[in-house]
């Protein structure tokens, strides 16, 4: 895995020790996602697929 600059969500209440979603953009443009309390488990997706997931979640889609 490439060296990544992880960013914690701004919704993590400002506490640097709180567990939340962290995201990083890889050099090839992919998005890397992990839970801060389990940093060895990393999901990899594309920006287009991440956007589609967020749109579906925001619309209440169930499929």
Residue pLDDT, tens place only, 4-62: 999 987 776 666 667 788 999 998 899 999 998 899 999 999 999 999 998 998 988 76
Biggest CA–CA distance in the chain, Å, is 35
The pLDDT, as a whole number, for residue 4 is 94
The pLDDT, as a whole number, for residue 63 is 63
CA distances from 51 to 6, 11, 33, 42, 46 (A): 19, 18, 13, 18, 9
CB 43 within 8 A of CB 34: yes
The pLDDT, as a whole number, for residue 8 is 85
pTM above 0.85, yes or no: no
């Amino acid at each position: 895995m490439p060296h990544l600059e992880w960013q914690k969500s701004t919704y993590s209440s400002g506490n640097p020790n709180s567990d939340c979603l962290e995201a990083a953009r890889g050099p090839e443009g992919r998005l890397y996602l992990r839970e801060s309390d389990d940093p060895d488990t990393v999901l990899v997706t594309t920006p287009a697929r991440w956007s589609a997931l967020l749109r579906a979640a925001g619309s209440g889609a169930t499929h």
